[in-house]
Structure 1
Amino acid sequence: MDWYLGQSRFTDPGTQSSWLDDVPRDLPALRRAASELVFHYWAQGDITRHGFPASRGEEIDLRYASDMFARLRELDPAPPGSPRSPVHRIVGCCRDFTVLFVAMARHHGLPARARVGFASYLVPGWYLDHVVAEVWSPDGWRLVEPQLPDDFPGIDVLDVPRDRFLVGADAWTAARSGDLDPSRLVVSPDLDVPFLRGLPYARHNLVLDLAALNKHEMILWDLWGDLDDAAVLAPESIARADELAEAMSGADLEQLRTLFEAEDVRVPPVIRSVTPPGRLPVEVVLR
């Protein structure tokens, strides 16, 4: 698992690396520290009602851990793990909790990676678009929930059951086989945007999960290759997603890297990104 000990270009803390030296090294403390670094831009309500100026909503597009840690340090110089008021956290989403956790875990010698999929424990009856971490343990990869508090009801945040968080391939396969109603896969139950529900978004998260397994921890509204915001998938797109999901299930690192070499899923130097709520796509040149 040495490859997952190394930082990616997205998780690399860069010049902020020394700031992480004093972060507690044990897994529960690392997870708890990550859970206090981000204020979710919509799950916790309108940010302006919590003391944030509206302009800070732009922080949701922070892509690189080095920039996130720099902003956090600017807001409060105390290192992660110290008490931090909500307005001294960056405005972001589940992906950002996970990127910061993975960055800190790798910094302290824990093999870790991000996983993109759907969680059933956020809103009863629904599988919500979500990103968590995986940490290597003597028993294999363990799902770790970096966003939620220690006492979140119904799950162990340090060992999330695989039937409560479905990684990209598992969600796609369950929806295609009929084991899971695709309409239950959503960004939010009350968000009536066809692309953000069902098979189109399951395919989106399948590709983002493959990217994350290859240490490309993308923003959830990124688009590249064959990814788009179409509300209905073409038959060839469904067939390709079937193929990817089958190949990803149980694949080792070499196989995952080979899958990621395909032009339709490999992250190119320039991508498109559609910042919510539904802005026009913009081109982003990756570092």
Structure 2
Amino acid sequence: MYVEPGVMTSLGRFAPQLTGLPAAPAELAAIGHGLLIHEHIAPNYGVELSEHERRSVHLRRIEQVLEHALSIDPAPLTTARPPAKRAPGNCRHFTVLLVALLRAQGVPARARCGFGMYFRAGRGEDHWVAEYWNAAESRWVLVDGQLDAKQREMFGIGFDVLDVPRDGFLVAADAWQRCRARSADPDTFGLSFLNEAGYWWIAANMMRDAAALENVEVLPWDLWGAMPEPDDAVDMELFDELAAATIDPDSTVDTRRRLMEDERLRVPSKVRNAARQVLEDL
């Protein structure tokens, strides 16, 4: 199920330009580096984004993202743009684009939502990465599609971003179970620049990760169902179940899908964009 495009990962009318490429994750990630710029890291590239320019961070579908990129610069999609001509996005956009490109080359891939442990010492920062099936090694490999050479230097990255260690990026279920086992502190998982963290954030990312495992890669601020907000009580039992169903997703497919039929977890056709405070279609 992770080879065929989903609603968010379909390349649509741009597929002819982006199929038949080398299946190497490094080369595909480089396409994303040349098309996208992270809205919060843009100043490090000498780019100051206006509020109008930032609106593209709310685009969910990769076909829409590519269309927007071409509206900024009509060069072929495989041509790297200068930073000022890249489409603003975030870690989720880099990830979903990489997943879409990998799938277009016939490589099984999926997006994972969780926490990067390599941005700030002692903190798990809200983050998305791609995961692809390495057939030669018979394992799923994590790839951080956002971190180009500049960001690797900025954040002092010493590992291979094409094979992120499992303790470098924690899928949300892993962070949850570590906190429940008291081997990690839930108040260190969230987003530092918002000064927000806690079980509620981990639970929300777990729902986003579970949705991505079903080929619905939502925005980092999309809300629905039992997804808690800062002042909400967290249903610990429910999220213990979800953690068990997503920590090793290939061994729990049936269990996870049954659980995702629960109205508290099921992804609806409309979600609340918390950044805009409006209901939007997926």
Check the 8 A contact 1:34/1:80 in 2, yes or no. no
Cα distance in 2 between the residues matched to 1:250 and 1:256: 10
State the partner residue of 2:87: 90
Return the letter of the residue paired with 2:159.
I
The residue that corresponds to 2:118 in the other structure is: 121
Q: Which amino acid aligns with 1:262?
A: D
- 1:61-100 correspondence to structure 2 within 5 Å: 61-100=58-97
Query: Which segments of 5 or more consecutive residues in structure 1 lack a partner in the other structure?
Result: none
Partner of 2:145: 146
Helix, strand or coil: the match of 1:141? strand
Q: Once the 2 structures are TM-superposed, how far is the Cα of residue 116 of structure 1 from its aligned partner? A: 0.2
Q: CA deviation at 1:228?
A: 3.8
How big is the shift at 1:211? 0.6
| C-alpha contact 1:200 1:232 (8 A) present in aligned 2 | yes
Aligned to 1:283: 279
C-alpha distance in structure 2 between counterparts of 1:72 and 1:176, whole Å: 42
Query: 2:219 is paired with a residue of what secondary structure?
Result: coil
Distance 1:258 1:29, change over 3 A: same
Q: Residue 181 of structure 1 corresponds to which residue in structure 2?
A: 185
Distance 1:256 1:79 in 2: 40
Q: Aligned partners of 1:251, 1:5: CA distance in 2, in Å? A: 16
The equivalent of 1:31 in structure 2 is: 29
- The code of the aligned residue for 1:171 comes to A
Tell me the TM-score normalised to structure 2 length.
0.90
- Name the SS for the 2:112 alignment partner: strand
User: 1:183-262 alignment to 2 at 5 Å?
Assistant: 183-188=187-192, 190-192=193-195, 196-234=196-234, 237-252=235-250, 253-262=253-262
Aligned counterparts of 2:75 and 2:184: Cα–Cα separation in 1: 44
CA distance in 1, matches of 2:63, 2:240: 36
Cα RMSD over matched residues? 2.0
Q: Residues 54-65 of structure 1: matches in 2 within 5 Å?
A: 54-65=51-62
Q: What is the match of residue 133 of structure 1?
A: 130
Task: Report 1:7-18 matches (<5 A).
Answer: 7-18=5-16
Distance 1:28 1:124 in 2: 26
TM-score normalized with structure 1 length: 0.88
**1:164 match:** 168
Question: What code does the residue aligned with 1:142 have?
Answer: V
Q: Where has structure 1 moved over 6 Å in runs of 4 or more? A: none
Q: Secondary structure at the match of 2:15?
A: helix
Q: Distance in 1 between matches of 2:89 and 2:237?
A: 33
Give me the whole-angstrom Cα distance separating, in 2, the residues matched to 1:261 and 1:155: 38
Further displaced range: 213-222 or 31-40: 31-40
**How far is 1:169 from its partner?**
0.7
Asked if structure 2 preserves the Cα contact closer than 8 Å seen for 1:150 and 1:157, the reply is no
Shift of 1:79: 3.2
CA contact (8 A) 1:22 1:79 kept: no
Offset at 1:88? 1.8
Structure 2 residue runs without a partner (length 5+): none
How many residues in Structure 1 have an aligned counterpart in Structure 2?
Answer: 273
The alpha-carbon deviation at position 126 of structure 1 amounts to: 1.1
